[in-house]
Structure 1
């Protein structure tokens, strides 16, 4: 999920701008499809499960994990398939992407997420944008978001350095599993905010969004602090790059 395409330093400004625009659109498309998977499978799973929440959650988890694997494989050659503002920001912190690219990517991710929710709602005849009434609050929910995000960012930090060829499978498997071993498994600010606009199985009350965002930021920060120490070579590379 690190940048797969970076314009050469000597490329003309117009070429760099065009490349950034294409990459940002790819990020928006990928994030949009991710939200379609999360919300759409949640809606259909709940409708077909006949009131069995476990079956609905299983369908939601399997669909999201499978789609996430496909999306990373699909979008990575275009933009790096960050699909998550936290991933973009940690790569910016590590020096793997630039500030201009990070701003464009994060903007595209949030826009794509809202568009994805809108399309998912439309595909299942739900209101296009409706504030969710699904309460997700309390210490246990925020702790779950912290844990889910900590694990995801730890995976990205380590595997982009040491196991890049396995990243799509590892991320997809982790997210699918975290649907069951945590109480939340959003682990993505763009996903969290966008899911406030669907009053369906995957929704979250807008009132509960700030708590989730804080927990995600805390989880990402803790992961960076720990895995920067556990993978010292990565930190040394960043230090050397900054010195140049």
Structure 2
């Protein structure tokens, strides 16, 4: 299959990202009941993981690992429709696989639907802003080296987990996959559609603003 390396890169990258997100939350829960400490461990693991994943796969697939990023790249003409559709499928598949692996290796059932509700207009606005910020960093640094983009994205998400009320999911594939774990990082499936809408609005809004101001 043509571009198989790119598709596998998106699958593996998103799988490892969710393994880090969910697994670090599980490890934190197993070690302490202090949610601030768990969140700190979670944010550091996610930030570090994003850095090495983007450096590793950036020159293979572009290291999107995020349907919102792929959608914006499609709208900007940086990726073809067929490839973008496969990317999004592989991202969602990889994300769900990553959560299932995390569940298994930490002794949970392979799939445990989350009972953790994350709702409210303030949470959705937080997701819109979180995704706007992520795309802003990516789009304004397209001409920089992959290592720089990796560092900036890792730093941003690691920080945004703390200063965004939603803990900065900023990724539809992440949102979908996190319904499959009933642990610290889980989210109830009824909240997903609203999260995804907010994330996509944030991503597209960022593209529109940056095209007008910075001529990207």
| TM band (smaller chain) | over 0.9
Q: For 2:108 and 2:131, locate their aligned partners in 1 and report how far apart those are by CA, in whole Å.
A: 29
* Selected match of 1:104 from 70, 83, 86: 86
Corresponding residue number in structure 2 for 1:6: none
Structure 2 distance, partners of 1:165, 1:64, is 16
Per-residue deviation, residues 71-96 of structure 1 (Å, max 9, x unmatched): 11111122111110111111111111
List gaps (5 residues or longer) in structure 2: none
Residue of structure 2 in register with 1:204 after alignment? 187
Aligned equivalents of 1:178 and 1:226: distance in 2?
21
Aligned partners of 1:211 and 1:156: how far apart in 2? 23
Runs (4+) of structure 1 exceeding 6 A deviation are none
Given that residues 54 and 146 in structure 2 are in contact (C-alpha distance below 8 angstroms), is that contact kept between their aligned partners in structure 1? no
Distance 2:102 2:55 in 1: 22
**Residues 1:36 and 2:36 are matched in the alignment:** no
> Post-superposition shift, 1:132?
0.2
The one of 33, 41, 60 equivalent to 1:59 is: 41
RMSD across aligned positions (CA): 1.2
Match of 2:173 in 1: 190
Alignment counterpart, residue 72 of structure 2, candidates 90, 110, 122:
90
What's the counterpart of residue 7 of structure 1?
none
Give, in angstroms, the shift of residue 101 of structure 1.
1.0
> 1:166: how far off?
1.2
- The whole-number CA distance in structure 2 between the counterparts of 1:222 and 1:104 is 24
Q: Please give the secondary structure, in 2, of the residue aligned with 1:26.
A: helix
Displacement of 1:164: 5.0
Aligned in 2, Cα 1:177/1:202: closer, same or farther, shift over 3 Å?
A: same
Task: Within 5 Å, give how 1:8-157 maps onto structure 2.
Answer: 17-18=1-2, 20-49=3-32, 51-157=33-139
Q: Which runs of 5+ in 1 are unaligned?
A: 1-16, 235-244
* Structure with bigger gyration radius: 1
User: What is the deviation of 1:58?
Assistant: 0.2
